[in-house]
Amino acid sequence: MTLVQEAKQIEPMIIEIRRKIHSEPELSFKEFNTARLVAKKLRELGIEVKTNVGGNGVLGTMVGGQEGKVVALRADMDALPVTEDVDLPFKSKNNGVMHACGHDTHVAMLLGAATLLSRHKKEIQGTVKFLFQPAEEDGGIGGAKPMIEAGVMDSPKVDYVFGLHIWSEMPSRTFGTRPGPFMATPDGFEIKILGKGGHGSRPDQTIDPIFISAQLINALQGVSSRIINPIEPFVLSVCSIQSGTTDNVIPDKATMMGTIRTLDEKTRRRAKQSVRQITRDICAAFGAKYVLEFKKDAYPITYNDEKVTKRVIEVLGTIEGTKTNELEVRLGAEDFSRFLQRAPGTFYYLGTRNEKKGCVFPNHSSKFKVDEDVLKYGAASLAKLALEFGKE
Ligand SMILES: [Zn+2]
Ligand SMILES: [Zn+2]
């Protein structure tokens, strides 16, 4: 029997786990019940389990019957602060919290892979580590970093690491990835413009932070269009601006927040330096003070090892019933990148777009809906990567 045929046999179990987690979503750093469910399932499979690894993280370790490499497979477990707007029998019971990024499916697919691998334990060369990670959506420190600090990539040292993400933009039953840089590093920033408030009719007596922020937003777009090489993937977006209370008072300050996305360290440094310089000079020109801060601990660039990823594409090509595409770079971000800094590996997508089933809304949308048909293929792909790379 092939792994896909075996995965079809356990499909009802994978779907049941997914629905259970979907109906009880938990936000970043609060994945208590999800982690408990994961630990219980792993123990039932006879897998050695450590809980509370770097927060709510769970580490499962399966030692195969033969010598080989150490392969780590990762799933993230957290949900988003979104109110679900899909009518499903297993709709979220936690108001205002939803698995709108499909991390419920990641947990279910990895538990599916663990089930498949436990049936093949004797044939496994090496060791498989199952990393169930909290707080991917946090966007700051995230959940990968504390798990790595807790030692999940060491003793035994991980040789290869793989992570799978469900993706609404690709058709169902397609895998996609890319050797080399794949996803961006997100540098969030906040600029406080400190002016001097006063009467709306006497701007000459004020330092107007709203006027200055308008100049600044325009000038910051010049980083994209006039400073960074136009063939380099790059985006700068100002996503929030807060100031003022009424129609006849010029306020004291304005606060702007935004994000810079880059795929290359040199471009990243240049962009951040330009933001600093433009902010300083525009504020100086109109006499305002300012505070500019970049968020600490930005997720690194998701870099798929080229050699490993070419091999991954070959392995995914053997999963019958699916197709594998090489994708363009993306400017989203993932803290799976932190695992990739510790071991070569691949982050890859599994498509779930299916018009007939109404699975057409993007990840993070309140209408996001997964085509559950694809979960068995995801589980089979993770198991297959562990089996193949154990031998490499
Ligand atoms: Zn997400
Ligand atoms: Zn996600």
- Mean pLDDT, rounded, for 88-102: 97
- CATH of region 185-294: 3.30.70.360
| pLDDT at res. 392 | 85
Could you report the per-residue pLDDT of 169-220, keeping only the tens digit for each?
999 999 999 999 999 999 999 999 999 999 999 999 999 999 999 999 999 9
Question: Please, are residues 137 and 100 in contact by the beta-carbon 8 Å criterion?
Answer: no
- What is the rounded distance in angstroms from the CA atom of residue 18 to the CA atom of residue 31? 15
Task: Count CA within 13 A, CB hemisphere, residue 21.
Answer: 30
Task: Count CA within 13 A, CB hemisphere, residue 354.
Answer: 15
Cα(302) to centroid of ligand 2, in Å? 13
Question: Please, are residues 239 and 259 in contact by the beta-carbon 8 Å criterion?
Answer: yes
Pinpoint the residues of the chain covered by CATH 3.40.630.10: 3-182+301-391
- Mean pLDDT, rounded, for 30-49: 98
- What is the rounded distance in angstroms from the CA atom of residue 135 to the CA atom of residue 87? 26
Cα(336) to centroid of ligand 1, in Å? 12
| pLDDT at res. 11 | 98
Return the residue matching tokens 């993280």. Answer: 57
- What is the rounded distance in angstroms from the CA atom of residue 215 to the CA atom of residue 203? 16
Cα(347) to centroid of ligand 2, in Å? 12
- Tokens matching residue 349: 């997508």
- Mean pLDDT, rounded, for 64-91: 97
Question: Please, are residues 268 and 185 in contact by the beta-carbon 8 Å criterion?
Answer: yes
Report which bound ligand comes closest to the CA of 98: 1
Ion ligand 2 residues within 5 Å by Cβ: 101
Cα(381) to centroid of ligand 1, in Å? 21
Distances (CA, A) of 293 to 187, 188, 224, 239: 10, 9, 19, 15
Return the residue matching tokens 């799976």. Answer: 336
Report which bound ligand comes closest to the CA of 81: 1
Q: Where are the alpha helices (DSSP H) in 317-365?
A: 336-340
Cα(331) to centroid of ligand 2, in Å? 13
The answer, yes or no, to whether residue 139 has pLDDT greater than 90, is no
Report which bound ligand comes closest to the CA of 104: 2
Cα(332) to centroid of ligand 2, in Å? 10
- Tokens matching residue 246: 């009424």
Question: Please, are residues 159 and 67 in contact by the beta-carbon 8 Å criterion?
Answer: no
N- to C-terminal Cα separation, the chain: 23
- Count of H-run helices and E-run strands, the chain: 10, 16
Report which bound ligand comes closest to the CA of 107: 2
Report which bound ligand comes closest to the CA of 165: 2
Q: Alpha carbon 391 to chain centroid distance?
A: 28
H/E stretch holding 277 reads: helix 265-285
| pLDDT at res. 325 | 96
Task: Determine which one of 299, 303, 348, 377 is catalytic.
Answer: 299
Cα(327) to centroid of ligand 1, in Å? 18
Return the residue matching tokens 């039932």. Answer: 44
- What is the rounded distance in angstroms from the CA atom of residue 103 to the CA atom of residue 208? 45
- What is the rounded distance in angstroms from the CA atom of residue 72 to the CA atom of residue 162? 6
Omega prior to 156 cis, within 30 of 0: yes
- What is the rounded distance in angstroms from the CA atom of residue 188 to the CA atom of residue 141? 13
Annotation marks residue 299 as catalytic: yes
Residue 311: pLDDT band with limits 50, 70, 90: very high
Question: Please, are residues 134 and 77 in contact by the beta-carbon 8 Å criterion?
Answer: yes
Annotation marks residue 67 as catalytic: no
Cα(76) to centroid of ligand 1, in Å? 10
Cα(331) to centroid of ligand 1, in Å? 13
Q: Alpha carbon 180 to chain centroid distance?
A: 17
Task: Determine which one of 26, 290, 372, 377 is catalytic.
Answer: 372
The CATH fold assigned to 3-182+301-391 is: Aminopeptidase (3.40.630)
